[in-house]
A and B are shown apart, each in its own frame.
Chain A
Amino acid sequence: SGRASDGSGAPRPLYMDVQATTPLDPRVLDSMLPYLTAYYGNPHSRTHAYGWESEAAMENARRQVADLIGADSREIIFTSGATESNNMAIKGVARFYKSRKKHIITTQTEHKCVLDSCRSLETEGFRVTYLPVKKNGLIDLKELEAAFQPDTSLVSVMTVNNEIGVKQPIHDIGEICRARKVFFHTDAAQAIGKIPMDVNNMKIDLMSISGHKIYGPKGVGALYVRRRPRVRLEPLQSGGGQERGLRSGTVPTPLAVGLGAACEVAQQEMEYDHKRILQLAERLVTKIMNEVPDVVMNGDREHRYPGCINLSFAYVEGESLLMALKDVALSSGSACTSASLEPSYVLRAIGTDEDLAHSSIRFGIGRFTTEEEVDYTVQKCIQHVKRLREMSPLWEMVQDGIDLKSIKWTQH
């Protein structure tokens, strides 16, 4: 669809990077248009119809978000995205309870904004335990239990990982936290609308939601904050007291409406999308693994969201493969960290060898992905992996039966 924006006239690449962002669903765009054109009032204006109609739309959107996760609409706070929600939840809870509680538990595979928020709290005198993960990417529940201290205020574990797609045992974590009366926060940006989430069932106290991961607009998200039992937060952003005083600032009605619509559409389409995406994911993995040896899937095979597939192709440099696959939009890890040349910290946390970590590609399959796109991606991937391996002296040595780990590389 369309020509490349660099003026080259080449067709645009196929989009297989849905963990980075998703296109707007046409139904979501439709819901937003009136508020970008005709109904432009500030939802906090109390004195005229422009305000009232905007407020009604905002509250309807709030209800749509709440419905998706089994919450009450009074428990939904609109934010600028999951990064802000994560910052609010972690820093907000920690600081509110800091007179008696100084300890936080999280994992080594969380999104950068969670890890960075924790690091920033450490400079404020908090103690943080960063739980390791097993080789399959899941946390060890026994280690979680052992990590609790008498002054732990919060546990933060993401539901579905954005790099490798693994799904943490949220039910069990919720139970463990509730039993110890410690608040449980989960970054559900990659999970909501894709797998069923229920804050009561799963005993979740805080949840971060991102609009642009669920076919909604960029620049908006939400934070679920439980009312019973009450979770208190110190707000990050001061101002006019909007969003129950937890997040001051004019709520961007068109964006909130878009987020709400995205949640409602996701709820309706969840089963249909999941079935298709599972099918397409199995097709992609099976085809690649049947044709090409020495491919490793990163993360647990079973406890995962199928639309996020991270594969390491041994003896192939990840960046070269990405460059070769120029007509497919892919990534070798999280968009937030791919600017640096460091291998992904998530892959390091699951114990991936340095060289395999550099050989990883993340394939994203979403609502709009077609079978033809999967087949094309698979075909090109197989073609280029084979070609790059042909050129690789390491591959040649492996073919000759040499154990690469036994080689003593010399300095020149």
Chain B
Amino acid sequence: MAASSRAQVLRLYRALLRESQRFSGYNYRTYAIRRIRDAFRENKNVADSAKIEELLKKAKANLEVIQRQDVSFFHIPL
């Protein structure tokens, strides 16, 4: 993988994990972290640059999903 690509992947990976820590829901938080790690691990040997491009796009989209979540709704009293 090209050096810039590799740096990009690592940056995204770290950003995804960091954003996932913001989930105050235990189940969401643990799922996000676990799923991100497993997905990156699963794809670590992908060589085809078009595939890498596609995966990076997906990762970026997922990062934006997490960033948009207002990570806790547990404050609402009943």
Which A residues contact B (CB, under 8 angstroms)? 1-3, 5, 15, 23, 26-27, 29-30, 33, 272, 367-370
Asked whether A27 and B27 contact (CB < 8 A) given A1-B74, A5-B78, A272-B38, the answer is no
Cβ contact within 8 Å between A2 and B74: yes
Residue of B nearest to A7 (CB): B77
Q: How far is the CA of A209 from the CA of B72 in the complex (A)?
A: 29
Q: How far is the CA of A286 from the CA of B27 in the complex (A)?
A: 24
Q: How far is the CA of A27 from the CA of B65 in the complex (A)?
A: 7
**Partner of B65 from A5, A26, A272, A367 at Cβ < 8 Å:** A26
Q: How far is the CA of A120 from the CA of B66 in the complex (A)?
A: 47
User: What total of A-B pairs shows CB separation below 8 Å?
Assistant: 40
Please tell me which stretch of B1-9, B10-18, B28-36, B45-53 contacts chain A, meaning at least 4 of its Cβ atoms lie within 8 angstroms of it. B28-36
Q: How far is the CA of A33 from the CA of B32 in the complex (A)?
A: 19
Q: How far is the CA of A15 from the CA of B28 in the complex (A)?
A: 12
Which B residues contact A (CB, under 8 angstroms)? 23-28, 30-32, 35, 38, 62, 65-66, 68-69, 72, 74, 77-78
A-chain residues with CB within 8 Å of residue B32 when the two chains form the complex:
26
Q: How far is the CA of A405 from the CA of B62 in the complex (A)?
A: 59
Cβ contact within 8 Å between B26 and A1: yes
Cβ contact within 8 Å between A1 and B69: no
Cβ contact within 8 Å between A1 and B25: yes
Q: List 11 A-B contacts (CB under 8 A).
A: A1-B26, A5-B77, A5-B78, A26-B23, A26-B65, A27-B65, A30-B65, A30-B68, A30-B69, A272-B38, A370-B30
CB distance from A216 to the nearest CB of B (A): 15
A2-B72, A370-B26 given; 4 more Cβ-contact pairs under 8 Å: A2-B24, A15-B27, A23-B28, A26-B28
Cβ contact within 8 Å between B65 and A23: no
Residue of A nearest to B26 (CB): A1
For A3, A15, A30, the residue with the greatest tally of chain B CB atoms inside 10 Å of its CB is A30
Asked whether A29 and B78 contact (CB < 8 A) given A1-B24, A1-B27, A272-B38, the answer is no
Q: How far is the CA of A58 from the CA of B2 in the complex (A)?
A: 41
CB distance from B27 to the nearest CB of A (A): 4
CB distance from A152 to the nearest CB of B (A): 45
